[in-house]
Amino acid sequence: MAGHIEINPKIMMGKPVIKGTRITVEILLRKLAQNLSPQDILNDYPQLTTDDIKAAVDYAASTLQNEEIFPLKQNRL
């Protein structure tokens, strides 16, 4: 992941992007969720590499790894 993902407030309002591009991690994850294959994504974005796509997925997993969920109590009427 190191060297592939960049966070800069001047690029895409600070969203994580593939370094040297304006392609966000979010857009790559959405494309994968829409069942686009990595090869389809590479065809659409020829400036990317397979390692860039893997880094985006790894970044998302690493970000979620430390997320804590606190269930809210629901008041019943």
Q: Could you tell me if residue 28 is inside a domain?
A: yes
Q: Could you tell me if residue 9 is inside a domain?
A: yes
Query: What is the model's pLDDT at position 77?
Result: 66
Range of the domain at 24: 5-63
CA dihedral 20, 58, 56, 9 (to 10 degrees): -60
pLDDT tens, N- to C-terminus, the chain (77 residues): 669 999 999 999 999 999 999 999 999 999 999 999 999 999 999 999 999 999 999 999 999 998 888 888 877 76
Domains of the chain: total: 1
d(CA 57, CA 59): 5
CATH of the domain at 24: 1.10.10.10
Closest CA to 4 of 33, 31, 26, 25: 25
